[in-house]
Structure 1
Amino acid sequence: MAILNTGSKIRVGIAGGAGYTGGELVRLLLNHPNAEITFVHSSSNGGKYLYQVHTDLLGETELTFSTEFSTDIDVLFLCVGHGAAKKFLTEQNFPASVKIIDLSQDFRLNDTANFEGRDFVYGLPELQRDEITKANNIANPGCFATCIQLALLPLASKNGLTSAVHISGITGSTGAGQSLTETSHFSWRDSNVSTYKLFNHQHLQEIRQSLGLLQSETLPAIHFVPYRGNFTRGIITTCYLQTNLSLEEARNIYEAFFANHPFVHISKVNPHLKQVVNTNKGIVYVDKVDDQLVIISMIDNLLKGASGQAVQNMNLLFGLEETTGLRIKPSGF
């Protein structure tokens, strides 16, 4: 954990700043009391004002995109695509003193967590907050992975995953990134819903890895059906499994597990997605129908599922209160 000197600010660089996660990082960091942006890199937008690409930043900053990198920073956020983070660190020579927070999937698994002499810690604070505070490099979790882990980690901590877990989840179009594809085009996505990567979503690997850190007994099968939603942002997942736990016992497990985690809230009523959109919150709801325990979990895929969690991890790396700069009210209507 790097402790900031009184009055000093964290010097931040952002690579891949033209995408959704880069834009959200800029928005958060411009209003962060302990951070200042040194550069925002984009090879295709060099010289443009940030607000020419991220139009929501009009009036917020006069920063322009850079085509050059500065090593005179404290932390670098990698908002490049999956597979590109490894290539970037191979080609760019940042000193070991610069902390890296990578938002791709390149370093999330144990067999990829060491690269070019850097050790990456999986950055889910609700699982590894103490390890994050001692780390130098963070592999930021995936969006679906974050949402599903918030639903299942409390049970795993009690060896409570004793039967097959069934999950359905729907995500907004921003989860697919800014590059135009057939299934992210407005005319295809609007008034439309579809499944994809049935039982084979890439985030299942990091989910099982995390659950295995808490559950000592063999993990059951996890069956996940993801959906593309016809809205822009947010994720809601529904998990269910057979259990002998009573509803009261299950709710007590969840309340205790998240008691000291400021961004996760246990709802006593069935929640809805607008409660988390534009926030770093995770909302979890637990119910039981017959012998099936049902856990509903929801996050904003661009914030708690990406850029907000990355800033949360930055706060922990530098000894700040982890909620700093992240107390954002949702747009409820």
Structure 2
Amino acid sequence: MPAEREEEQSRKLWHSFEIFKNSSIKQDNMNEDKVKVGVYGHTGRLGEPLMGILREHPNTDIVYTESRSSGKRGDLEETDTVFMALPPGTSEEYLPSLEGKRIIDLSPDHRSDWVYGLPESRREEIREAERVANPGCYATSIILGLAPLQDEVNEVYISAVSGISGAGMKPKGEDNFLSYEEGRKHYQIEEMEKYLDAEIVSFSPTRIDNTEKGILSSIFARTEDFEDIYETYEDFYKGEEFVKIEEGTVQTKDVNGTNLCRMKTVQNDKGLEVI
């Protein structure tokens, strides 16, 4: 499987948690009745950390799991909600058996036709949705970074770096920066443009092979004049407990292993940079 298709990592999994926590699953009382969950692909690179999140959630009860390596365990009929932690292109064969159940798909397969699972921009849609597609890792960073200026930016250029876990690999001892899928080749550009309604002129992702996880994106764009861009971002994300606008240093070690996002804005007469 191509490395670019293996980028759904911990930020993405934490988004599954956020979707789940903020969704009004169709139950009478979530505090008394745990949501019965099934997970396809629970032994894989995405499935294992997802299982850890669900085990710790106070309102979930894992009643069914299925993977190629360990087979089927539990009763699918008991499930209310099913997570698909499968490789791209493989979830479709399971959908006919899941009619009437709520599905959250971690793969890129349904990001264009299911409800896009980014709570900060589509919380109410997620609450009512029966089918939710979890966002891509880079796309999450870029969409959150430009959402406060949607419809007011153009000429978007992006340089982003990530750890090696997104490629399904462990950190290497040797220092190495790997640039790949530069320009407009990366498959997540499609969802960035769809949900920002803006054209990405160029997107250059870089993998850091001796770092396990984290994403740091630098987004450059031309935009209309704003008197105070920091205040614009502060107002937009007011009340969002997982997004914070910083004035100082932004670093991945402050958010690794969480579903938090930290960003800062830099404005000058040539345009805008969001980090």
Q: After superposition, where does 1:133-148 map in structure 2 within 5 Å?
A: 133-148=127-142
Which residue matches 2:221? 241
Aligned residues, how many? 248
Residue of structure 2 in register with 1:27 after alignment = 52
TM-score in terms of structure 2 length: 0.84
Q: Which residue is equivalent to 2:16?
A: none
Partner Cα distance (2:262, 2:56) in 1:
24
Q: Which has the higher strand share?
A: 2
Alignment of 1:142-221 (within 5 A): 142-156=136-150, 159-161=151-153, 163-177=154-168, 184=169, 190-199=174-183, 200-212=185-197, 219-221=198-200
Preserved CA contact (<8 Å) 2:63 2:75: no
> CA deviation digits over 1:283-313, x for unaligned, max 9?
11111244231101xxxxxxxxxxxxxxxxx
> 1:45: Cα distance to partner?
3.0
Q: Which range moved further: 273-282 or 4-13?
A: 4-13
Is the 2:35–2:60 contact (alpha carbons within 8 Å) kept by the matching residues of 1? yes
Equivalent of residue 101 in structure 1, options 101, 104, 107: 104
> Could you say what secondary structure the match of 2:77 adopts?
coil
**TM-score of the aligned structures, taking structure 1 as reference length:** 0.70
State the alpha-carbon separation in 1 of the partners of residues 224 and 270 from structure 2. 7
Cα distance, 1:193–1:211 mapped onto 2, change above 3 Å: same
Question: Are the counterparts in 2 of residues 165 and 241 from structure 1 also a CA contact under 8 Å?
Answer: yes
Q: Name the aligned partner's letter for residue 169 of structure 1.
A: A
Amino acid in the other structure paired with 2:110: F
C-alpha separation between the residues in 1 aligned to 2:199 and 2:135? 22
Q: List alignment gaps of at least 5 residues for structure 2.
A: 1-23
Following the alignment from structure 1 to structure 2, what is the Cα–Cα distance between the partners of residues 145 and 270?
22
Q: Distance in 1 between matches of 2:136 and 2:195?
A: 12
Amino acid at match of 1:241: A
Q: Distance in 2 between matches of 1:103 and 1:256?
A: 30
Partner of residue 276 from structure 1, selected from 255, 259, 263: 255
Distance 1:266 1:7, change over 3 A: same
Contact 1:16 1:78 in 2 (8 A): yes
Q: Give % identity.
A: 33
Q: Does 1:252 align with 2:231?
A: yes
Once residues 68 and 140 of structure 2 are traced to their aligned partners in structure 1, the CA distance between those partners, rounded to angstroms, is 30
- Quote the RMSD (CA, aligned, Å): 1.9
Q: Quick one: distance in 2 between partners of 1:69 and 1:194?
A: 44
- Aligned to 2:104, the other structure's residue is in SS state strand
Distance in 1 separating the partners of 2:132 and 2:223 = 35
Q: 1:4 to 1:26 in 2, by over 3 A?
A: farther
Alignment partners' CA distance in 1, 2:83 and 2:68: 16
The letter of the residue matching 1:146 is: T
C-alpha distance in structure 2 between counterparts of 1:186 and 1:260, whole Å: 36
User: 3-state SS of the aligned residue for 1:207?
Assistant: helix
